[in-house]
């Protein structure tokens, strides 16, 4: 049955460099080896299954109601940014939406943290591409996601490489850690088994994603970046099973806003309490889908407000296409705007200026990179969006 496992005893001593040049005695510790799940038939309580199906319906409805949402590209991109930021924040990597938007502008220099989160966005995009393809998921798929994520030091040194040493969470060493993953020789066989489970079509999609994510985090196959890759796999499965053919709601946003419950859920999975974990995950999925719809409606209302501020405009004006574009590029340059809306540079600049005069954009002067314009009100909506990610009391 999915969840649960066994402990094995191992010994560990820091290498000569890690211990500051001092020889240290090896310490005994217990590593957790999860049960295999490749051919498992998850037995869930009826209430758990019903909640998971309701969560799946919420994701399908989010993807189906195109008419009620802002432009697919703009909303999808912003949801992806929010998901990558939240997934990174769970790991202690925090960057503002504005810094991330700046980092994505072509030709811009970025600071280290923003560049790392851009890598997380690319990994999520890759995860969705994989999910949309007909091929099977294998260990190479998983390592490719890690390589896509690991673009800056120190992660780049282990990009796409399965670990060859102990991996633990909390504490300075395995003997004092909160959790120690399976010995490294168990990692690849466990990943192959996990891939077999992810390739199945006879398990309901939300429980499948919940189990796959928890199993991956339990295996902890990489030296770092496991949480972000594990949350990418949820995207892969939702796309692969046809649950989210356009965009996945920002589940990491809800998981991160309820981090203690998230960690407790993963611990419940390892203890064999599968229903407890699947219920928590399903509630997170359902809330993420609901909040995404609310955010979309708020962005659409803000865009309409911008349109009213600048009316009347000529039919050939760049203003209206720019308003349509801003959810995708809340920080934008004239060069990017010109390319995206297909208007001349003078028309584009006139449109940006008109929006700045109406208070929809704030212009930032920059001699090195060129001026940029920021949609501050959109960032305010993003902050409210993130503040509503807490799960309601059950």
Alpha-carbon separation of residue 132 from 50, 60, 219, 384 (angstroms): 26, 15, 25, 31
Place of tokens 């990489």: 222
210, 212, 352, 383: which is closest to 286 by C-alpha?
Answer: 210
Q: For 204-208, 237-241, 387-391, which range has the lowest pLDDT when averaged over its residues?
A: 387-391
* 309, 358 contact by CB (below 8 A): yes
Burial bucket for residue 311 (CB in 10 Å: 0-12, 13-18, 19+): exposed
Indicate whether 243 pLDDT > 90.
yes
pLDDT in tens, 299-314: 989 999 999 999 998 8
Task: Decide: helix, strand or coil at residue 5.
Answer: strand
Say yes or no to pLDDT of 86 above 80. Answer: no
Which residues are bridge partners to 372 per DSSP? 333, 364
| Listed range (21-30, 268-277, 355-364) with the worst mean pLDDT | 21-30
372-374 and 362-364 as β-strands: parallel, antiparallel, unpaired? antiparallel
pLDDT at 74: 63
Of the CA atoms within 13 Å of residue 298, those in its CB half-sphere come to: 15
**Could you please report the per-residue DSSP string of 31-61?**
EEEEPP-TT------HHHHHHHHHHHHHHHH
- Across residues 365-380, what is the average pLDDT? 86
C-beta separation of 336 from 373 below 8 A:
no
- The CA distance from 201 to 146, in Å, is 25
Residues 205, 203: Cα–Cα separation, whole Å:
6
Neighbour-count burial of 66, counting CB atoms closer than 10 A to its CB (0-12 exposed, 13-18 middle, 19+ buried): exposed
Contact indicator for 208, 281 with CB cutoff of 8 Å: no
Q: Which of 61-65, 257-261, 323-327 has the lowest mean pLDDT?
A: 61-65
Q: What is the mean pLDDT of residues 101-129?
A: 72
How much is the pLDDT for 145? Answer: 93
The DSSP line for 244-260 is -SS----HHHHHHHTHH
Please give the domain boundaries of the chain with CATH numbers for all domains: 5-12+26-35+43-290 (1.10.3290.10), 311-383 (1.10.10.10)
8/45 Cα distance (integer angstroms): 31
pLDDT band at residue 73 using 50, 70 and 90 as cut-offs: low
pLDDT of residue 72: 47
pLDDT confidence bin for 22, thresholds 50/70/90: low
- Give the residue among 389, 221, 201 at the shortest CA–CA distance from 290: 389
pLDDT category of residue 393 using cuts at 50, 70 and 90 = low
pLDDT at 18 over 70: no
CB 362 within 8 A of CB 373: yes
Cα 148 from Cα 308, distance rounded (Å):
42
Give just the sign of the alpha carbon dihedral 187, 188, 189, 191.
positive
Q: Are 10 and 50 in contact (CB under 8 A)?
A: no
- Region 344-362: mean pLDDT is 96
Spatial separation of the C-alpha atoms in residues 356 and 69, rounded to whole Å: 25
Helix (H) or strand (E) segment spanning residue 372: strand 372-374
| Residue 261 confidence (pLDDT) above 90 | yes
Is residue 17 predicted with pLDDT exceeding 70? no
Query: Higher model confidence: residue 134 or residue 305?
Result: 305
> pLDDT tens digits, residue range 160-191?
999 999 999 988 899 999 999 999 999 999 99
Percent of the chain whose predicted confidence (pLDDT) is above 90 = 57
∠ CA 42-47-50 to the nearest 5 degrees? 80
What pLDDT is recorded for position 121?
Answer: 79
* Residues 299 and 378 sit within 8 Å (Cβ to Cβ): yes
SS (H, E, C) 278-345: HHHHHHHHHHHHHHHHHHHHHHHHHHHHHHHHHCCCCCCCCHHHHHHHCCCCCEEEHHHHHHHHCCCH
DSSP state of 167: -
305 against 85, higher pLDDT: 305
Q: Is the dihedral of CA 86, 88, 94, 100 positive or negative?
A: negative
- H helices of 38-138, in order, are 46-64, 72-90, 97-104, 112-132
């Amino acid at each position: 049955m999915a969840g649960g496992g066994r402990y094995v005893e191992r010994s560990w001593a820091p290498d000569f460099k890690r211990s500051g040049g001092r020889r240290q005695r090896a310490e005994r510790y217990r590593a957790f080896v999860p049960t295999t799940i490749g051919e498992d038939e998850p037995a869930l309580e009826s209430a758990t299954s019903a909640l998971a199906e309701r969560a799946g319906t919420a994701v399908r409805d989010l993807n189906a109601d195109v008419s009620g949402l802002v432009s697919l590209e703009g909303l999808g991109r912003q949801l992806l940014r929010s998901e990558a930021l939240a997934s990174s924040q769970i790991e202690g990597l925090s960057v503002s939406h504005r810094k991330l938007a700046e980092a994505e502008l072509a030709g811009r220099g970025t600071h280290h943290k923003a560049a790392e989160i851009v890598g997380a966005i690319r990994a999520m995009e890759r995860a969705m591409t994989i999910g949309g393809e007909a091929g099977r998921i294998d260990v190479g798929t998983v390592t490719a996601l890690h390589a896509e994520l690991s673009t800056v030091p120190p992660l780049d040194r282990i990009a796409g490489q399965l670990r060859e040493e102990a991996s633990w969470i909390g504490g300075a060493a395995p003997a004092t850690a909160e959790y120690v993953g399976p010995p490294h020789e168990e990692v690849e066989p466990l990943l192959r088994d996990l891939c077999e489970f992810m390739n199945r079509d006879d398990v309901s999609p939300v429980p499948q994603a919940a189990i796959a994510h928890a199993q991956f985090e339990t295996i902890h196959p990489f030296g770092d970046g496991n949480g972000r890759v594990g949350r990418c796999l949820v995207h892969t499965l939702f796309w692969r099973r046809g649950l989210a053919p356009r965009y996945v709601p920002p589940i990491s946003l809800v998981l991160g806003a309820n981090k203690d419950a998230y960690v407790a859920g993963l611990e419940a999975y390892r203890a064999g309490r599968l229903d407890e974990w699947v219920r928590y995950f399903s509630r997170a999925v359902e809330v993420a889908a609901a909040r995404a719809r609310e955010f979309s409606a708020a962005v659409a209302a803000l865009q309409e407000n911008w349109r009213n501020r600048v009316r009347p405009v000529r039919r050939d004006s760049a203003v209206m296409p720019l308003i349509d574009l801003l959810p995708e590029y809340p920080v934008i340059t004239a060069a990017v705007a010109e390319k995206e809306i297909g208007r001349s540079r003078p028309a584009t600049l006139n449109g940006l200026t008109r929006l700045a005069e109406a208070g929809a954009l704030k212009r930032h002067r920059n001699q090195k990179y060129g001026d940029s314009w920021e949609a501050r009100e959109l960032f305010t909506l993003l902050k409210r969006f993130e503040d509503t990610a807490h799960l309601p009391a059950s």
